[in-house]
Amino acid sequence: MTTKRRTWRALWRAVRTDGCTAAPDWTSAWTRCCNRHDRHYTTHRTPSGAPITRAEADRALLRCLRATASDPIARWIIATSYYALVRLAGAARWTTNH
């Protein structure tokens, strides 16, 4: 791993997160999904440092929540609700100064 990549990964992990901000963290896996989403919103980057748009970040959250859901209701109804909420309310948190 290059020094630049190691530095980026350290910065990525240092970003402050709070899980699923305005919603319950149903499982530890969902908390990890939401923390990754927080990092996308803070850095506008993926863990590898590639640029990411808000829409891509929100879709990544939905994919992660669905992939880690334990039952169909969580997978389709609750995960989709979280996605809808971040699409509606997330614009205020997605800053353009990066």
Give the pLDDT of residue 97: 47
* pTM recorded for the entire structure: 0.83
Terminal-to-terminal C-alpha distance of the chain: 25
Q: Which amino acid does the sequence have at 95?
A: T
- Quote the mean pLDDT of the chain: 85
63 has a pLDDT exceeding 60: yes
Domain boundaries, the chain: 3-92
Three-state DSSP class for residue 39: helix
DSSP of 44-74: SB-TTS-B--HHHHHHHHHHHHHHH-SSHII
pLDDT tens-digit readout, 12-60 = 677 777 778 777 767 888 899 999 999 999 899 898 889 999 999 999 9
